[in-house]
């Protein structure tokens, strides 16, 4: 029986009033986050053994959510780093950031006005504008095209474009313009539309997932899975089968489009690896054994992208160049793994940890508050942020633009009072065990300067 349920039943059966244990606090906060109505129902059915929502807000009030780096979150990260060092390990973090639109609205919480632009710098100005966006920085435990460190020129800072976003840009590019490869063959979106039309007419699908919504994606252009299923090996095989085996006239010359889909599916797999034992070679983590074969593939893919043209102009010089350049930079940055292998910092590299999926899923948690509000106000964002800092088991809806692809957990923080220090240390130790067990995340270069 889970510890939280044990504590819940013990609370119901006990006649004495005792301090709520950490496991029950975590359960209560998480349940209330998912549904306040469900929380009140459970609290009523279990004879009010759960704390009142006012008590939950009191617990969370200790976490300050100003427009800067959370001190409490940083303290917990520091504890993780120190615990790792005591075991002769170093932690590496990938710094990911993204912006989220918020509603222009002024709120008063009884103490402070929320809603104006706030950079945590005191400005004596009565003409501040209303905030319309929030910028979030996130540390993702793993890691580290690159630039020299501004202080130590011998060190490199690697920058990775989000592979998911680059893939969507690929899909958008081919849907807007015909692309020509080095042999003069046309890569056209028309073949994908014809594939969907043929499957709809025949009521059969040629072993792929592409449907009408994949080619008419404009209302769902943020869904990564639609782009991934469109530019896939399955679609490439279907186009090749229709051109060469069935010799369908509408698919004459579709091989160039099939090659385009196959190459970018392979590129995305290399840049989205989540474990070391995947059956598909391109989806495995980068190891010392696979590094050089992957580097050879990366060189081949870079040369292929460089050879593409739009209206006799290199695609890298066109208005649709962003996604293509992003993939080239990411492929060249496979050298990051080689550098970390050289200094014996890691045993393998999970490229999924370099993506922005973690920030996107965090934004999904923010939006689910206040009735799936896509544009929360500044005050609502801070309230949601504070709640999530207290939670450890929140889940992302399967209908969100981005869903988790592994068991990565969010850092849970609590008040660092004397009574809670032991609980934090136990939590930190447990999270490290979870990482080591589920992900086999190796020790990585510590980029936190303490």
pLDDT digits (tens, 9 = 90+) for 103-120: 888 888 777 788 888 766
**Residue 10 host element (H or E):** helix 3-13
> Which of 369, 375, 374, 368 shows the shortest CA–CA distance to 398?
368
Phi, psi of 264 (to 5 degrees): -75, -25
Q: What mean pLDDT comes out for the span 64-72? A: 71
Give backbone dihedrals phi and psi of 156, rounded to 5 degrees, phi first: -115, 145
Task: Please give the pLDDT value at position 85.
Answer: 79
Which residue, 330, 353, 376, sits at the end of a domain? 353
Is residue 428 predicted with pLDDT exceeding 70? no
Instruction: Give which of 67, 169, 149, 81 is closest to 378, Cα–Cα.
Output: 67
Strands (E), 143-185: 147-148, 156-157, 179-180
Query: What does the DSSP assignment read for 297-346?
Result: HHHHHHHHHHH-EETTEEGGGSTTHHHHHHHHHHHHTTHHHHHHHHTT--
Q: Are 312 and 245 members of one domain?
A: yes
Q: Parallel, antiparallel, or unpaired for β 313-314 and 92-101?
A: unpaired
Are 95 and 203 contained in the same domain?
no
Same domain, 45 and 172: no
Cα 176 from Cα 141, distance rounded (Å) = 37
Selected residue with higher pLDDT from 26 and 225: 225
Enclosing domain of residue 172: 163-353
One domain for residues 167 and 124: no
pLDDT above 90 as % of the chain: 28
Residue 295 lies in a domain: yes
Return the minimum-mean-pLDDT range out of 336-350, 394-408, 417-431.
417-431
Read off the DSSP letter of residue 272.
T
Lowest mean pLDDT of 6-20, 331-345, 426-440, name the range: 426-440
Least confident of 3-17, 201-215, 273-287: 3-17
Q: Is residue 448 part of a domain?
A: no
**pLDDT for res 341:** 84
pTM of this structure? 0.59
Residues 264 and 367 in one domain: no
Residue 214: CB atoms within 10 A of its CB come to: 24
Q: Is the Cα torsion angle 100, 101, 106, 107 positive or negative in sign?
A: negative
Residues 361 and 290 in one domain: no
pLDDT at 14: 66
pLDDT digits (tens, 9 = 90+) for 355-395: 777 787 778 788 777 666 778 888 888 888 877 777 656 66
Higher pLDDT, 279 or 263: 263
Residue 112 lies in a domain: yes
Mean of the per-residue pLDDT values of the chain: 78
Residues composing the chain: 450
Q: Could you tell me if residue 57 is left (phi over 0), alpha (psi between -120 and 50 degrees) or otherwise beta?
A: alpha
One domain, residues 217 and 328:
yes
Residue 437 confidence (pLDDT): 40
110 shares its domain with 233: no
Distances (CA, A) of 206 to 189, 234, 235, 269: 18, 8, 8, 22
Please check whether residues 52 and 9 belong to one and the same domain: yes
Q: What's the pLDDT score for residue 99?
A: 82
For residue 318, being part of any structural domain is answered with yes
**How far is the C-alpha of 236 from the C-alpha of 231, rounded, in Å?**
8
Query: In the chain, how many domains are there?
Result: 3
Tokens of 268: 């995305």
Residues 346 and 361 occupy one common structural domain: no
81 located within any domain: yes
Whether residues 261 and 334 share a domain: the answer is: yes
Check the CA dihedral 77-79-84-90 and report its sign. Answer: positive
State the alpha helices, DSSP H only, in 203-320.
212-215, 224-230, 233-240, 255-270, 291-307
Residue 438 lies in a domain: no
**Structural domain includes residue 195:** yes
Q: Do 213 and 322 share a domain, yes or no? A: yes
pLDDT of 102 > 60? The answer is: yes
List, as one string, the DSSP characters of 56-100. HHHHHTTS---SS--HHHHHHHHHHHHHHHHTT---EEEEEEEEE
Asked whether residue 128 is domain-assigned, the answer is: yes
Among 353, 376, 411, which residue terminates a domain? Answer: 353
Query: Of 24, 39, 61, at which residue does a domain stop?
Result: 61
CA–CA separation, 387 vs 368, rounded Å? 12
């Amino acid at each position: 029986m889970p510890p939280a349920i044990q504590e819940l039943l013990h609370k119901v059966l006990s006649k004495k009033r005792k301090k709520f244990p950490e496991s029950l606090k975590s359960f209560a906060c998480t349940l209330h986050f998912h549904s306040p109505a469900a929380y009140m129902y459970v609290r009523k059915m279990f004879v009010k053994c759960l704390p009142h929502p006012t008590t939950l807000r009191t617990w969370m009030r200790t976490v300050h959510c100003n427009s800067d780096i959370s001190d409490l979150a940083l303290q917990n990260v520091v504890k993780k780093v120190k615990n790792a060092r005591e075991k002769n390990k170093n932690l590496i973090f990938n710094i990911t950031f993204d912006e989220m639109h918020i509603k222009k609205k002024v709120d008063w919480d009884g103490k402070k006005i929320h809603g104006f632009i706030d950079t945590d710098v005191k400005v004596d100005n009565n003409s501040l504008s209303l905030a319309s966006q929030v910028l979030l920085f996130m540390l993702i435990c793993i890691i580290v095209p690159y630039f020299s460190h501004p202080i130590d020129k011998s060190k490199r800072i690697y920058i990775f474009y989000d592979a998911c976003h680059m893939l969507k840009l690929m899909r958008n590019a081919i849907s807007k313009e015909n692309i020509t490869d080095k042999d003069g063959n046309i890569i056209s979106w028309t073949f994908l539309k014809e594939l969907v039309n043929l499957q709809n007419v025949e009521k059969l699908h040629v072993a792929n997932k592409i449907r009408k919504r994949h080619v008419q994606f404009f209302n769902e252009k943020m869904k990564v899975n639609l782009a991934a299923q469109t530019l896939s090996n399955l679609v490439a095989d279907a186009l090749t089968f229709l051109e060469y085996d069935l010799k369908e006239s509408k698919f004459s010359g579709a091989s160039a489009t099939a090659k385009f889909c196959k190459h970018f599916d392979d590129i995305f797999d290399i840049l989205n690896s989540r474990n070391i034992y995947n059956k598909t070679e391109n989806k495995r983590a980068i190891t010392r054994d696979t590094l050089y074969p992957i580097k050879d593939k990366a060189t081949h893919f870079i040369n292929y992208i460089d050879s593409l043209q739009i209206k006799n102009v290199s695609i890298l010089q066109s208005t649709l160049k962003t996604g293509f350049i992003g993939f080239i930079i990411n492929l060249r940055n496979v050298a990051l793994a080689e550098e970390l292998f050289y200094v014996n910092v890691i045993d393998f590299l999970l490229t999924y940890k370099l993506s922005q999926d973690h920030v996107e899923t965090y934004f999904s948690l923010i939006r689910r508050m206040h009735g799936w509000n896509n544009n929360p106000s500044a005050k609502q964002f801070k309230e949601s942020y504070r709640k999530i800092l207290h939670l450890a088991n929140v889940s992302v809806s399967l209908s969100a633009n981005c869903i988790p692809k592994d068991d990565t957990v969010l850092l849970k923080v609590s008040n660092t009072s004397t009574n809670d220090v032991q609980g934090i240390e136990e939590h930190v130790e447990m999270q490290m065990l979870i990482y080591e067990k589920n992900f086999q995340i190796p020790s990585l270069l510590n980029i936190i300067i303490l």
